[in-house]
């Protein structure tokens, strides 16, 4: 089913609205939040309309992370995956979008809520993303451009790591990285999960340098 048209908000390129320092992301955001904001920015900026439902944005970010693990044997968003009622999400990004994250102000510099929509106010810079990560996000945006948010959510219900960990009753539970690796048919899911945990620790050390 084709996605319904959305109202697009006023949009400005980096620097035009927020000044020179915003181009270089001088916003006191941690390394993790900087990466998440830039990834969401790529997804929203790639389409014709700079808006997407919160549900679809969360699913596409999870799918992008899962695809990175499948193709490159490592994670790039390094956020904690959680099994929730409508499928898997990355928990920190979920809280960021909801306004319940301590660094929500950094998010609000570039995005705003309009009901259930996440709207792009100004395109974030992309310096924390590799060229491959940007292409991956754009590929995911293209692949799911014509899909309804609920179609995307339903697709994530087919992921074994969600089925194995969702506790039901509208509650939630952490999805172990090993379960994601196993669902993707990796030869040594435990070793890959340990590598991702190590990457997360390194990212968190950067967060502490620039909290």
pLDDT digit string (tens) for 85-132? 999 999 999 999 999 999 999 999 999 999 999 999 999 999 999 999
> Which domain, by its residues, includes 201?
20-209
Residue with structure tokens 């309009």? Answer: 114
In a domain, 11, yes or no: no
In a domain, 3, yes or no: no
Rounded to 5°, angle at Cα 141 from 139 and 143: 65
Does residue 9 lie within any of the structural domains?
no
Residue 17 pLDDT > 50, yes or no?
no
Q: What is the pLDDT of residues 48-89, one digit of tens each?
A: 779 999 999 999 999 999 999 999 999 999 999 999 999 999
CB 59 within 8 A of CB 149: yes
Q: Is residue 2 part of a domain?
A: no
Percent share of the chain, pLDDT over 90 = 81
CA–CA dist 106, 96 (Å, integer) = 9
Q: Look at residue 15 and tell me whether its pLDDT is greater than 50.
A: no
Q: What average pLDDT does the chain have?
A: 88
* Residue 10 in this model has a pLDDT that exceeds 90: no
pLDDT for position 18: 35
Residues 111 and 96 sit within 8 Å (Cβ to Cβ): no
What pTM does this model have?
0.88
| Number of independent structural domains in the chain | 1
Q: What's the pLDDT band for 207 if we cut at 50, 70, 90?
A: confident
Cβ–Cβ under 8 Å, residues 18 and 120: no
Contact 52, 58 (CB under 8 A): no
95 CB-near residues (< 8 Å, 6+ apart): 101
């Amino acid at each position: 089913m084709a996605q319904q048209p959305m109202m697009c908000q006023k949009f400005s390129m980096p620097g035009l609205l927020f000044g020179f320092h915003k181009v270089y992301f001088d916003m006191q955001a941690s390394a993790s939040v900087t990466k998440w904001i830039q990834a969401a920015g790529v997804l929203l900026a790639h389409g014709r309309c700079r808006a997407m439902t919160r549900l679809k944005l969360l699913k596409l970010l999870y799918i992008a992370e899962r695809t990175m693990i499948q193709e490159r044997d490592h994670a790039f968003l390094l956020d904690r995956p959680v099994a929730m009622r409508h499928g898997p999400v990355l928990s920190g990004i979920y809280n960021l979008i909801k306004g319940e994250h301590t660094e929500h102000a950094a998010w609000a510099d570039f995005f705003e809520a309009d009901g259930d929509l996440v709207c792009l106010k100004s395109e974030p810079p992309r310096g924390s993303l590799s060229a491959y990560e940007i292409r991956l996000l754009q590929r995911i945006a293209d692949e799911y451009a014509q899909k309804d948010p609920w179609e995307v959510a339903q697709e994530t219900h087919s992921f074994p790591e969600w089925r194995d960990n969702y506790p039901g009753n509208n509650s939630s539970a952490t999805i172990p990285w090993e379960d994601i690796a196993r669902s993707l048919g990796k030869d040594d899911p435990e070793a890959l999960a340990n590598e991702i945990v190590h990457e997360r620790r390194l990212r968190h050390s950067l967060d502490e340098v620039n909290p």
